[in-house]
Structure 1
């Protein structure tokens, strides 16, 4: 990698120090992080994302070099592309479709990947190329392959890696297909959220190898990082480590437009009831109950609309026109529930909440995933105890 400037070096040292203190970065990765600062891989225009407010603020290296450098070394995610590259201008687009992850997330995932000298690694989702660069610096460029679906992002990453003096193979292609030309791999690291693990990743990983991937359901945007070990018989199993949030593989993203016809008018002919379950009981962001509900209520998408007068939790079936809504008003002890269609979605959600509380409100780390040709199966504590039905294989 090219030598950093003195100012970059100070900022990089400070970031490495803070990551080491937090435990996200382990000492064996420290020199690589110092040698390959994130700033080497960023485009001139990025959008700094505030995790608390959800807002993304544009920062230009040309117009605001100090602000850009501050963003480059801050522990925040930086959006680098909107709307699959169709967006123009400096204001945020509609859907973020590529980013530079938080340095703490990058460091912790590399820590959990557990690499050692001589290992061959496949990365799914090149993005800016920073993660591929870190892997190439640690393991050697010839041992790293990275797959990126977006042609513009792939070209940007190749250029950044070349300027850094690194030459891992950057493939423009569908990450779900992996890259069989260099298989088998000792490690597969996925930097995009998945809703079903593609079988090709298992096929291209040697027995005993590790697949580290953000996995979740369409119930929410959240992912749980899973560390799968590939077994001799081709299956893979392993525990969930913690909650994260990644942009999804393009062919596994949820299209919210599919629900436009679900509720022609509200409440229409929906059945009405009440519940004592509070909106807070359903969990927020990274809370385990939200993750568990997605497991126990498959093929369901969930969103909450908030206002001063009321909060409305929506639930949409991915396979039928069934829907449900729970309306929560301040000061009222019960919420009003509306359900329409053959599937009683709210009843399933409430049952999932009761299931979780009856088992002592288990956290993410007590759950695990087993992947076979039949699909992805989540378990609690023991691979023999199923949490819910296998995830559909038509997403693969």
Structure 2
């Protein structure tokens, strides 16, 4: 591969490699790929790095601020948005929804460790984006061993052009990644760089027995995911494995969940619902972005979406909406004292959520790593500790 600069020209890139290695994200077998395949070679001139301190994305232009651009592109462990609003966005300000990006290097290399890709393996990637992840895999697996599928025509074209410019032996296919790429199957490894709500069985069918599938997976409950590492059974009819840790990815376009329309659920006011109270606190029930209870509540309260409203006047409403009916619940958490609860509809969503929270506590407050996922032709199920303790999701 040829690039306009090498990592050795940017001391910060080497320092990032040392930081990632010390944190256990960059393993020795992936260090050569990190050194040889700089992320900056795949990023557009205009990009929107995510500021971890402020939680905001801001535009950075290579022609206008080359040093800042390279500092983010080569040296920083941050996600970088490269497309907003499915390509309909223009201008420097961030758009409404990020729809393509380059992931944090630490997340990229942890997932590649989970994949256990080895020289000679044939690999399928779902979600090409910039093409950096596919290039890293090609460096390790060997020339013409990586197929990558991208749903967005413009993003796929840009990644293909980058691959041609750099002389990368990677095949870029434009299409719906939920179908995989059957014409090039079977694969030894399959990895998705987009969040799933249902693991496509087509991937199991296209992966060799004993092969590995790595993908961010979550529920309708929230945007959070956990990385599932699945091994295809010897007969090739199922895939099963544990979650390795929490992440958050843009969702597979075929599985995006629409934001609940509040007025379709609550036609009057919360007083129309049945009122109760709870002593569960906001910190216990909501936690922060990657606390395990959000993931677990999604596993135990299916077909439900949680929406956390902004805090005001010392209180915060947390809403639960049914995704297949018009059931709803609202918990009004206040600083001190019991929270008020209203719920209405065919399901008692707060009762289900409270029971799920108690279940989580009774089982030792497990994180994603104690859970696993099984995928068969009939559907998918999750389990705690052992596949025998499973339920459908």
Q: Residues 153-164 of structure 1: matches in 2 within 5 Å? A: 153-164=155-166
Supply the distance in 1 between the matched residues of 2:6 and 2:38 (Cα, whole angstroms).
Answer: 11
Supply the distance in 1 between the matched residues of 2:324 and 2:53 (Cα, whole angstroms).
Answer: 33
Supply the distance in 2 between the matched residues of 1:274 and 1:268 (Cα, whole angstroms).
Answer: 13
> CA offsets per residue over residues 142-184 of structure 1, 9 Å max, x none?
1100000001111111122222220310000000000011100
Aligned counterpart, 1:145 = 147
Q: Residues 309-328 of structure 1: matches in 2 within 5 Å? A: 309=313, 310-328=315-333
Q: Residues 41-190 of structure 1: matches in 2 within 5 Å? A: 41-73=42-74, 74-190=76-192
**Shift of the alpha carbon at 1:233?**
4.5
Extract unaligned runs of 5+ from structure 1: 392-396
Q: With the length of structure 1 as denominator, give the TM-score of the two structures.
A: 0.95
Query: Does structure 2 conserve the Cα–Cα contact (< 8 Å) formed by 1:228 and 1:239?
Result: yes
Q: With the length of structure 2 as denominator, give the TM-score of the two structures.
A: 0.96
Q: 2:230 aligns with which of 214, 228, 240?
A: 228
Runs ≥4 residues deviating over 6 A: none
Aligned counterpart, 2:384 = 380
> CA offsets per residue over residues 324-372 of structure 1, 9 Å max, x none?
00001223x1000010111100000000000011111112111111111
Mean alpha-carbon deviation: is it higher for 360-369 or for 119-128? 360-369
Query: Does structure 1 conserve the Cα–Cα contact (< 8 Å) formed by 2:204 and 2:236?
Result: no
**Shift of the alpha carbon at 1:19?**
1.3
Query: Does structure 2 conserve the Cα–Cα contact (< 8 Å) formed by 1:141 and 1:169?
Result: no
Q: Residues 238-387 of structure 1: matches in 2 within 5 Å? A: 238-282=241-285, 283-309=287-313, 310-331=315-336, 333-386=337-390
Mean alpha-carbon deviation: is it higher for 365-374 or for 172-181? 365-374
Supply the distance in 2 between the matched residues of 1:203 and 1:49 (Cα, whole angstroms).
Answer: 36
Query: Does structure 1 conserve the Cα–Cα contact (< 8 Å) formed by 2:217 and 2:227?
Result: yes
Cα separation, partners in 2 of 1:126 and 1:378, compared to 1, 3 Å = same
Aligned counterpart, 2:35 = 34
Mean alpha-carbon deviation: is it higher for 107-116 or for 314-323? 107-116
**Shift of the alpha carbon at 1:12?**
2.6
**Shift of the alpha carbon at 1:68?**
0.6
Query: Does structure 2 conserve the Cα–Cα contact (< 8 Å) formed by 1:237 and 1:370?
Result: yes
Supply the distance in 1 between the matched residues of 2:99 and 2:37 (Cα, whole angstroms).
Answer: 24
Supply the distance in 2 between the matched residues of 1:123 and 1:260 (Cα, whole angstroms).
Answer: 39
**Shift of the alpha carbon at 1:280?**
1.1
Query: Aligned-residue CA RMSD in angstroms?
Result: 1.4
**Shift of the alpha carbon at 1:225?**
0.3
Supply the distance in 2 between the matched residues of 1:190 and 1:288 (Cα, whole angstroms).
Answer: 22
Supply the distance in 2 between the matched residues of 1:217 and 1:6 (Cα, whole angstroms).
Answer: 39
**Shift of the alpha carbon at 1:116?**
1.2
Supply the distance in 1 between the matched residues of 2:49 and 2:176 (Cα, whole angstroms).
Answer: 27
Supply the distance in 2 between the matched residues of 1:260 and 1:375 (Cα, whole angstroms).
Answer: 32
Query: Does structure 2 conserve the Cα–Cα contact (< 8 Å) formed by 1:303 and 1:315?
Result: yes
Supply the distance in 2 between the matched residues of 1:190 and 1:76 (Cα, whole angstroms).
Answer: 19
Whether 1:12 and 2:13 are equivalent positions in the alignment is yes
- Partner of 1:27: helix, strand, or coil? coil
Query: How many residues are paired up?
Result: 388
**Shift of the alpha carbon at 1:48?**
1.0
Query: Does structure 1 conserve the Cα–Cα contact (< 8 Å) formed by 2:6 and 2:38?
Result: no
**Shift of the alpha carbon at 1:288?**
1.3
Query: Does structure 1 conserve the Cα–Cα contact (< 8 Å) formed by 2:205 and 2:236?
Result: no
Supply the distance in 1 between the matched residues of 2:16 and 2:78 (Cα, whole angstroms).
Answer: 12
- Partner of 2:162: helix, strand, or coil? helix
- Partner of 1:28: helix, strand, or coil? coil
- Partner of 2:265: helix, strand, or coil? coil
Query: Does structure 2 conserve the Cα–Cα contact (< 8 Å) formed by 1:83 and 1:95?
Result: yes
- Partner of 2:374: helix, strand, or coil? strand
Aligned counterpart, 1:394 = none
Extract unaligned runs of 5+ from structure 2: none
- Partner of 1:141: helix, strand, or coil? coil
> CA offsets per residue over residues 232-269 of structure 1, 9 Å max, x none?
14111000100001000011111115554112232151
Supply the distance in 2 between the matched residues of 1:233 and 1:32 (Cα, whole angstroms).
Answer: 31
Mean alpha-carbon deviation: is it higher for 264-273 or for 203-212? 264-273
**Shift of the alpha carbon at 1:78?**
0.2
Cα separation, partners in 2 of 1:336 and 1:128, compared to 1, 3 Å = same
